[in-house]
Amino acid sequence: MSFPLDPALTSPFELGPANAHTAVLLLHGFTGSPWEVRPLAQSLADRGFYVSVPRLPGHGTVPEDMLWVTWREWLAHAEASFEALSRFPRVCVAGLSMGGLLGLLLAERHQARVSKLVLMAPVMRVQQRAGQLLERLGARALRGFGASWLKKTTTDLEDEQARARAPVLPQYPLGRLLDLFELQKLARRAAPRVTAPTLIAAARHDHVVAFDSLEALHAQLPTSRLLVLQRGFHILPHDVDRARLIAEVAEFIDTA
């Protein structure tokens, strides 16, 4: 067994006034944790929004916990977290990376209830060629290797101080990439049916997400706006252009 990540950094949390008019469900990314979106959550709460940041099953603890979950558990947890906000008059959904895929699915399933949708570096297609090849090959390429471990030593941040502080899951099962790819397929099919006003935020130099896939997503969503950040990499809420990102997201959510 591995040593667990610091729960002070990776645990789920809620911020903001319980009687707020607007609630925001904020979802982290693949192999990540609520730490990834905390600066945005804190800023939104300071502005009077209620913010719920769940931790997706298998994430933010020890690598072994990733062995026992699939995309179904991640989506079910996102759904349950969304339903828990039903008491609020207005609910917005925001997601980073894989959290953006889950956000698209929630917005498609609950069109009348998702007021605004924020997609931060949604991983519609991975940039790395090895990942693209694995997606094309599918399950047959992993036969017998699904429980093999992929090492992870850092996270995609230009800000060196933030990168040094980041809690990083040191490894994860290769098979979980198939779950990520399945969510990508579902999100691509769902995107044309999303009606909520949408803000797509992308960093030009993101090393994880293929930038042209975000341009294609923007073209699919007639109610969307594409915010392109010229600085920073993948974990936008912690990176060097975080002030602009947070201000743009807050203004977008606050506008009726």
The model's pLDDT over 68-113, given as tens digits with 9 standing for 90+, comes to: 999 999 999 999 999 999 999 999 999 999 999 999 999 999 999 9
State pLDDT tens for residues 232-248: 999 999 999 999 999 99
* Residues 198 and 213: beta-carbon distance below 8 Å: no
Please report the sign of the dihedral spanned by the C-alpha atoms of residue 2, residue 150, residue 12, residue 7.
Answer: positive
Which among 63, 136, 57, 62 is positioned nearest to 102, based on CA atoms?
57
Q: Which residues pair with 229 in a beta bridge?
A: 203
Q: Which residues pair with 23 in a beta bridge?
A: 50, 91
235 token code pair: 């974990």
Q: Which residues pair with 151 in a beta bridge?
A: 171
Reported pTM: 0.94
H/E stretch holding 25 reads strand 22-27
State pLDDT tens for residues 176-211: 988 999 999 999 999 999 999 999 999 999 999 999
pLDDT at position 3 is 80
Distance CA 256, CA 252 (A): 9
Q: What domains appear along the chain, each with residue ranges and CATH number?
A: 7-254 (3.40.50.1820)
Distance CA 158, CA 150 (A): 22
